[in-house]
Every structure is written in structure tokens, then in C-alpha cells.
Structure 1
């Protein structure tokens, strides 16, 4: 009986830690969610440069969820404009322009999901369209997974044609007086989902379902418009 009670207590505690409070609209990290709530008006006016200056990946995800559909599109279209300035060959450049056209033609990808059915339809459209784009990149251009990730999965700047991108910190990796960590507490980033189980682009380990929390669509997967439902482990 005592063993059963102990197991229940452990399981219940784990549930409390992994659950995302209904009050957390933007992130299951209390710190990231509070930061967004304090800066809502500024975030709603952010341009791409300001978005890219956010040092933490989880804070970027939270801000991206606040963005209007137009802001989300501009994050990606601005990225592609920057990326085209790098030294690609003609075929590679044409395929990057193809990605630009895909994003421009699929404004509905960046709109809020109004129902489960609509969310599934949009997610399927993103997955199929981007699978075809990525397949050409792999098979014809012989791009690496790093290059595909750099161009179509992370919104951060591509720094070189071999797929190097500007890196962000996970929560707990950087001290910043404007972004406080809970003293003596856990790494809250470990409680927030950071990858998509169907489109695994984790660099360390694999995307694994571990009871992490996620307040809604956006921040993972292709063009950051798919649900975060796993942890890189």
C-alpha cells in the first residue's frame, strides 16, 4: 500500500510539473510566459531584426505565437531575402526562391487554427508541401539535413551555404537580468516542448514525447508553424 501511495505521489508531482497551466497562453515556461505578458505591445510591433535579437529559443517561440499572421510571414520572407545574398549556385538559388513562393502562396499556414479539423488539414498541407520541397533539395541538390533545417525549419539567420545558423540559448544557459531564472529551481526549458515528433530536427538525441507542455500551434516543425510536442533527448 505504501509503495502504491509513493508511486501515486511521484506520478502526480510529475503531472504537475509537465502540465501547462491554462493561464500560460504563450509558453509553458513561467518565465517566458511572464516576459511575453509584460511586453505584449512591443512584441506585436516587432520586426524580424528585433525578433532575431531575442537570445532564448523559448522566448522566441512565445513571441512568435503572439505575432500576427503578417508578422510570422515577414519573419520568413525576410529570412529568405537575407539568405539569397549568400553564395548559392543557380539551382540552389532557384530552390530557395521556390520556398519564398510557397510561403507567399500559403498565407493560411500562418493564420490561427480555429478548429481541430482545420488544424489537421493545415498541418497536413504544410507537411506534404514541405516534404516535396525537401525531397528535391535532398535528391537533386544533394543538400544535407543541416541545410534543409537552416532554410525551412529555424527562423534564425542562415550564416553560410553549408547550413550554419545563428544559435539561440536554451533556458538556463545564459544569465540575463531582463530574463530572470527561478533561483535554485529546475531548468524550466525542460518542461516546455521544443520539437515536433513527426518532423524531428533535433541535433542532440531525438524528439521524444516526455509529457512536456505546449500552449498551442507554432514554434516547431516546418516554417515554425507546427505543434511543439516533444523534447530533444
Structure 2
């Protein structure tokens, strides 16, 4: 049940081919290999389409992928719209990623790693939803999408 923790982007990372056979995105990534090799999350966010963003992410090195998520979570933790406790909760995900960088190598994860990720994420999500009233959309925007965070609480 590896449904969260950057799941879409980690799946893209587990293949050398560009997602979905999108020829435009594939051609763009081929023509921009050098740019992608140096790309930051800020630059990635400015790419023109979802397909190109996904395709570029597949070309990231494991180190780029880790930094991508660390940058995203650092940005979220700096958001004044979140309470200090919410920011601390975001940083727990940051710490998990930092201590599990091997998940970003593009290699198939082991059943033990899958269990560890799912156990952590289930607890992390449960706290987010129960203690902070984060909507599923907000949780997804933090932990499973490279895009900007969507702030949406339950019953908003």
C-alpha cells in the first residue's frame, strides 16, 4: 500500500523511460538534459506542463530527488499560514526523507522498506488529519505532489 510519500514521483523515478510515452515531453527532456542535470525545484515548478515536469523528474539524479523534496518541505515549514506544531509535523517528513535517501535511487524497494514507509506514512497522515484537521488534498499536496502546497482543512 505504497500510496503516499512522494508515490507518483518515486514511481517515475523507478523507470528510465519518460512517463506515459508523451513524445513532446520526451523530446523536451532529451533536448534539455544538461539543464535538467542542474535543475532545482524552483526551476522545475516553472516548467510549462505536468508532462514535462514528470519527464524532467525522471531524469533527476537520486541526489536531486532528495534535494527536491527537502526544498519543498523546507518551503512549507516556512509558510506563515501553518502553526509551529504543523511546521514541526512537516519537518518529521523531512527527517524521514533525509534518513531514507535510498528510497530515491530508482531501484525497487524491498518489502521491509515498503512496510517501513507505509507505517511511517500511516502515522504521519493520521496525525495530520486528526490533530491538524488537514484534508486529504492538503496531505497529498505536501507528501505526494511536487507542486505547491494546497492549504485546506477539513470542514473548510
Q: Scaled by the length of structure 1, what TM-score is found?
A: 0.53
Q: CA deviation at 1:123?
A: 4.1
Q: Which has the higher helix share?
A: 2
Q: Which runs of 5+ in 1 are unaligned?
A: 1-23, 164-233
Contact 2:74 2:91 in 1 (8 A): no
After superposition, the Cα gap between the structure-2 partners of 1:121 and 1:32, relative to the gap in structure 1 and judged at 3 Å, is farther
What does 1:25-44 correspond to in 2, within 5 Å? 25-27=17-19, 28-44=21-37
Corresponding residue for residue 63 of structure 1: 56
Quote the RMSD (CA, aligned, Å). Answer: 2.0
Structure of greater relative contact order (alpha carbons < 8 Å, 6+ residues apart) = 2
Greater Rg over alpha carbons, structure = 1
Distance 2:121 2:91 in 1: 14
Cα offset, 1:36, TM superposition: 1.0
Counterpart position of 1:94 = 88
Number of aligned pairs?
136
Does 2:100 correspond to 1:109? no
Q: Tell me the secondary structure at the aligned position of residue 162 of structure 1.
A: coil
Whether the aligned pair in 2 keeps the contact of 1:109 and 1:126 (CA below 8 Å) is no
Show structure 2 runs of 5+ residues with no match.
Answer: 1-15
Match of 1:81 among 49, 70, 74: 74
